[in-house]
Structure 1
Amino acid sequence: MKILLLSIAVLCFVSCKKEVVQVSIKEDVAFLSSDDLAGRETGTKEELMAAKYIKERMEAIGLIAKGQAGTYFQTFTFRPSTNPHEKVKFIDAGDGTTTGTNVIGYIDNNAAKTVIIGAHYDHLGYGGQGSLHRGSLEVHNGADDNASGVAMMLKLAERLTNQNTGHNYLFIAFSGEEMGLLGSNYFAKNPTVDLSKANYMLNMDMVGRLREDKALSISGVGTTPLWKQILNSNNTGFKLVLNESGIGPSDHTSFYLQNIPALHFFTGQHEDYHKPSDDHQKLNYDGMKMITDYIFNIISDLDASDKLVFKKTKNESEEVPRFKVALGVVPDYLFDGVGMRIDGVSEGKPAEKAGLQKGDIVIKLGDMETTDMMSYMKALTTFQKGDTTKVVVDRKGKRVEATIVF
């Protein structure tokens, strides 16, 4: 009931006033991840409710509509595929098709260069193929994934109004990310602004769970030679985990493929990832403010810069080993020590049955030492379903051995 009342209050606050209004990050997240929006699955009426809310927030901030035909919306239609290896094609609407909706706003400073700031707002609805939940159908609210990124994007839009006028700013809430980066892919190929003027793109996806050690992953730092200098010089206390590749499982990839320098900000996976328990009460709002300030300072530092030089990077996804089995854990992608630290354990999977726990660091799997994520994945490739092996973990400084049955 409290969420419903908050939703009504925020919508009224946004839509009933003409002046620029201040809505907190927490209020935006609470609305977008409420049960009323039923998980914001692409093409549903609830996703359209979220799109309308974001549009009204953009309008209240004073952003110019930059979608199709003078609106804030850019729609795209496709036929969903059950084959994950089959490329989705954009087609005309018809039987069996789904229509997603990007929401796009613009700050026009009459500048020669444009910064693109994006975050996807769709999620999994009641679950589906991407869900890690076992049991009855439940709303997957997606507070961290990715109401968090949308709320930070809107806060940056508020702060950039009449500031840092050396660039124009394009803000995009993408649909269809969970189905294969569809919204960003469509926009990149059907842009509503001149992409030759795009200086760089910033993507925020899962930025709501900053940990005590303040570990912040930033991918795409190899897409221009200047990124590392800018990111480090503006760092105000983050433990930065920097990744070179411009290709990854989020919307920055679509812009990298258009030769635009792009970054992805990410605070790490967790045991609520793609589950109904990804709720707004679990987010670190102080951490989100800290990241928002950091991104704003990066933008400010680059305001008077020349256009960034684009640089191609190695596609790290092509080097990921293919394996037929899994432990059933959520890896801690921000861990920079020796081994693979477990950030969550899935119910009924081999790891849980073997007694592995969140926080355990896998240091040996079978006959192979696991010194990092890549060596862990290579170890998995040596096993088939039905195999039994030993796993050794570091549990709070003690070596613990367990038996894994795949």
Structure 2
Amino acid sequence: MKSIYILLAIGLFISCKKEKPVEVTMKDDVVLLASDSLHGRQTGTSYEILAADYIANRFKNLGLEPKGVKGYFQEFSFKDKSDPHGNVNYVSKSEDSTTTGTNVIAYLNNNAENTVVIGAHYDHLGMGIEGSLYRGDTPQIHNGADDNASGVAAMLHLAKQLKTINTNNNYLFIAFSGEEMGLLGSNYFVKNPTIDLKKVDYMLNMDMVGRLNDEKAIAVHGVGTSPIFKQVLFSNKGDFKIAEHESGVGPSDHTSFYLMDIPVLHFFTGQHEDYHKPSDDADKLNYEGMEEITQFILSIITELNDDGKIAFRKTKNESQEVPAFKVTLGVVPDYLFSGKGMRIDGVSEDKPAQKAGMQKGDIVVKMGDYGVEDMMSYMKSLGKFEKGSTTKVSVKRGDEILVLDVTF
């Protein structure tokens, strides 16, 4: 059965035998990877293998060397989705009740001293595994166009452009499996690398880069993981409005590399109402925005091309600074907002925020006696309240400050 899928991937999606290479756009890559025929690319399924074959074939057509264990592929098997940076239970594929994921890895060898890693996960939620926010009665395909066919398409686009420029580094391109189950593919790779990790200059990660908004706001995580990053980012940002985050730890594959003392940058255009739902489809992406983002990332690579191996710097783990809290407002924060306060990007039904009259776009500036300056202070303020308690929450709506009564 697997061979049939491989033949379909080669025959229907892109042919290696054409005399002229097929010109494949980022939209082409997204449309294919987010098609119903791939059933949501769940880790360990034949559909993920089909997606892996497609990506490997794209790497081959771009003239990139295989850098997996078996050609372009690096398989890993596991029984449990334990803490990916603690005790991941990787096992032999021959053991019973295992799942096998497949990283897809390619190499652009410029015979340089150091290597830049560029990555994006390609797995998604299949028909709606754990992590899905879909609440329908019938299972549906979660195509994951933004999450993360967009990142894979951007990675492939960068690979094409880097073939002839910025040759002071080599480039390792990795499409990670198992991200949705806990960063499993990237964690496995850094513990079983196919190149010398001591020669890795830095790692760039793209996860959900398909929904650039009209403000051109983009979140960049890991800004503090090298002393040079902030200067490079802001000197190349152009029209982008950057929401910068210092920490190298976050819910995507760059974390695995940061924990190996490698500088990282992670690019993200924000959550949206289709996140982890069947409605995350290819027709909703901003492909012009994706082109702008890849050019922004390319300009960063270009500026760093002559800098040699850049310095690594540890950052605070922002997630560890947040106290445990027993209550929630029932809102989706706007992770791209860089102003004062916490801007609301969505309001859940029948939750404290909705009952109090909060709306999308409101900016929370105070909770009880606690001022809210940013996302971190918002979460710390939330940790001060108990279930059943009542407080006043101040929100900015337009030019007006509203004081609302909230019961948790």
TM-score scaled by length of structure 2: 0.91
Task: Give 2:219's aligned residue.
Answer: 217
Task: Give 1:247's aligned residue.
Answer: 249
| 2:386 equivalent to 1:381 | no
Q: Compute the RMSD of aligned alpha carbons.
A: 2.3
For 1:190-339, what aligned pairs fall within 5 Å after superposition?
190-339=192-341
Residue 299 and residue 14 in structure 1: after superposition, are their counterparts in 2 closer, same or farther (change >3 A)?
farther
Q: How big is the shift at 1:401? A: 4.4
Cα deviation, 1:218-268, whole Å, max 9, x if unaligned, reads 111222211122222222211122222111111111111112111111112
CA distance in 2, matches of 1:245, 1:19: 44
CA distance in 2, matches of 1:83, 1:217: 25
Q: Identity across aligned pairs (percent)?
A: 61
Cα deviation, 1:280-312, whole Å, max 9, x if unaligned, reads 222111111011011112112222321112222
Task: Give 2:68's aligned residue.
Answer: 67
State the secondary structure of the residue aligned to 1:178. coil
Amino acid at match of 2:375: M
C-alpha contact (below 8 Å) 2:82/2:88 kept by paired residues: no
State the secondary structure of the residue aligned to 2:171. strand
Task: Please list every run of 5 or more consecutive structure 1 residues that lacks an aligned counterpart in the other structure.
Answer: 1-6
Cα deviation, 1:91-121, whole Å, max 9, x if unaligned, reads 1132222111100111111111111100011
Amino acid at match of 1:56: N
C-alpha contact (below 8 Å) 1:271/1:343 kept by paired residues: no
TM-score scaled by length of structure 1: 0.91
| 2:49 equivalent to 1:53 | no
Task: Give 2:131's aligned residue.
Answer: 130
Cα deviation, 1:45-69, whole Å, max 9, x if unaligned, reads 2111111111111111111111113
Residue 400 and residue 135 in structure 1: after superposition, are their counterparts in 2 closer, same or farther (change >3 A)?
farther
Task: Give 1:90's aligned residue.
Answer: 90
Task: Give 1:77's aligned residue.
Answer: 77
State the secondary structure of the residue aligned to 1:105. strand
CA distance in 2, matches of 1:275, 1:351: 22
Cα deviation, 1:135-161, whole Å, max 9, x if unaligned, reads 223222211111111000000011111
C-alpha contact (below 8 Å) 2:9/2:53 kept by paired residues: no
Q: How big is the shift at 1:389? A: 4.0
Residue 369 and residue 10 in structure 1: after superposition, are their counterparts in 2 closer, same or farther (change >3 A)?
farther
Residue 189 and residue 375 in structure 1: after superposition, are their counterparts in 2 closer, same or farther (change >3 A)?
same
State the secondary structure of the residue aligned to 1:119. strand
Task: Give 2:190's aligned residue.
Answer: 188
Q: How big is the shift at 1:322? A: 1.3
State the secondary structure of the residue aligned to 2:340. coil
C-alpha contact (below 8 Å) 1:17/1:60 kept by paired residues: no
Task: Give 1:4's aligned residue.
Answer: none
| 2:144 equivalent to 1:142 | yes
Task: Give 1:3's aligned residue.
Answer: none
C-alpha contact (below 8 Å) 2:85/2:187 kept by paired residues: no
State the secondary structure of the residue aligned to 1:177. coil
Residue 386 and residue 123 in structure 1: after superposition, are their counterparts in 2 closer, same or farther (change >3 A)?
farther
C-alpha contact (below 8 Å) 1:19/1:61 kept by paired residues: no
State the secondary structure of the residue aligned to 1:125. coil
CA distance in 1, matches of 2:57, 2:79: 29
State the secondary structure of the residue aligned to 1:76. strand
Amino acid at match of 1:110: N
Q: How big is the shift at 1:12? A: 3.5
Task: Please list every run of 5 or more consecutive structure 2 residues that lacks an aligned counterpart in the other structure.
Answer: 1-7
State the secondary structure of the residue aligned to 2:158. helix
CA distance in 2, matches of 1:351, 1:281: 31
CA distance in 2, matches of 1:232, 1:323: 35
Task: Give 1:23's aligned residue.
Answer: 24
